[in-house]
Each structure stands twice: as C-alpha cells, then as structure tokens.
Amino acid sequence: MNVTRGFTGHARAHRPGLPPGQYDAGDDWPVLSAEVTPELTPADWTFRVDGLVAEPRTWDWDAAHGLPASAYEGDIHCVTSWSKFGVRFAGVSLDAFLDVVRPHGSATHAVAYAHTGYTASLPLADLTGGRAWIAWEYDGAPLAAEHGGPARLLVPHLYFWKSAKWIAGLTLLDHEAPGFWEQNGYHARGNPWEEQRYSGD
C-alpha cells in the first residue's frame, strides 16, 4: 500500500468530489452579487411559475411553506473556481411547484428571474428529478440576505450562477433564452463536471 505522508505547503491536493479546475474554499462562503442586496422580507417575497404551463401560479411565503419540506446537503461550485463542501440548505423541491403548474410537454427551458432583475437560463430537465430547490434556510437558520434570503433558487449540480438569489419566478419556454451571465458568454447548461464554463466549452 502506498501512503504519502507529510504533504505540506500551499499546493492544493485534489480532493474527491472537486470538479476539474475548482478549489476547496473551506469555511469561506464568498458573496457574488451583480446587484445591491435588496431589502426583501418574507412578507414581500413571492414566487411565480408561468410560461408553458397548464396553470400559472404565484406563491407567497406562507403558501410556499405549505409545500413539503425538502433539504439539500452536498457541495456547490462557482464558475470563478471556488467550491464549497457539505453545505446544508432547506426549502422546497422545485418538483413540488412544477407538479402544481403542470409544464406543457413543449417546455424545454426556463428563465429564472430574481426580484432584482437578475436572470439565469436553465434546461428544464435540470430543474426536475429532485435536483433543484427554492431554499430559505442555510445550516438551520434563515438564509442571509447577501446569500439570497429570504429565498433563492438552488441548483447545486450546475455552476452556482444558475442559482438565482432573491428568486421571484421561473418562465418556462420551448427554447433557450440567455440570462445575465449566458448573454455574457457563459454556458447554456454549466455542468461543472464537464467544465462547461463558457459557451462553446
């Protein structure tokens, strides 16, 4: 058996679970916002799903909390190359919202939009199957405003720019409609395991 001991210095050992080109940010949780953090309270917050759906719907804070609770424990990966391991978010699975609005078969993509105007584009398939959440808790406490509180989108298997903070809604479409970063050359899907950072990757 080979055991390497005494590995010291500033080189970062590649740890399992770290996608290519990423580093482990440890306990740090950098804040990345294109906007000023809005003053948004739970009483102001709403979440709407519309577009190619049978029944467009808007939930307020209480209605959204009436859906079954769902948690994520795992990792997140920002395209600027930090990853964070073992984060814990809680909220509601997006499947629960989509079950209510019933997407048309023609819906292939979604634009997620924030109460601030930030947008992100995602394939609809990445928002289903228990892989996406509306999250309002982090580590058992209310999600901090700078991290998207009262509630943010969480799609942890894609680069974190897809996880729109201060989420206001999703519009389902039958085509890709580039959002804030996608319009600036970032990838339509953004799978960290395939290093889909920029369009063309």
Ligand X SMILES: Nc1nc2c(c(=O)[nH]1)N[C@H]1C(S)=C(S)[C@@H](COP(=O)(O)O)O[C@H]1N2
Binding site residues, Mo ion, CB under 5 A: 32, 78-79, 160-161
Asked if residue 54 binds ligand X (CB under 6 A), the reply is: no
**Between 53 and 121, CB nearer to Mo ion:** 121
Asked if residue 165 binds ligand X (CB under 6 A), the reply is: yes
Is residue 182 a contact partner of residue 120, using CB atoms and an 8 Å limit? Answer: yes
Residue 34: contacted member of ligand X, Mo ion, none (CB under 5 to 8 Å, by partner type)? ligand X
Residues 123-152 that bind ligand X (CB under 6 A): 147-148
Asked if residue 89 binds ligand X (CB under 6 A), the reply is: no
The region that residue 140 occupies, defined by phi over 0 for left and psi between -120 and 50 for alpha, beta otherwise, is left
**What phi and psi, each to the nearest 5 degrees, are found at residue 124?**
-60, -35
Count CA atoms closer than 13 A to 2's CA, side-chain side: 1
Binding mask 17-36 for ligand X (x = CB under 6 A): ------------xxxxxxx-
Is residue 150 a contact partner of residue 45, using CB atoms and an 8 Å limit? Answer: yes
d(CA 153, CA 167): 6
Q: Give the DSSP letter of residue 85.
A: E
Q: Which residue is nearest to Mo ion (CB)?
A: 78
Asked if residue 118 binds ligand X (CB under 6 A), the reply is: yes
Residues contributing to the site for ligand X (CB under 6 A): 29-35, 78, 114, 116, 118, 147-148, 160-161, 163-166
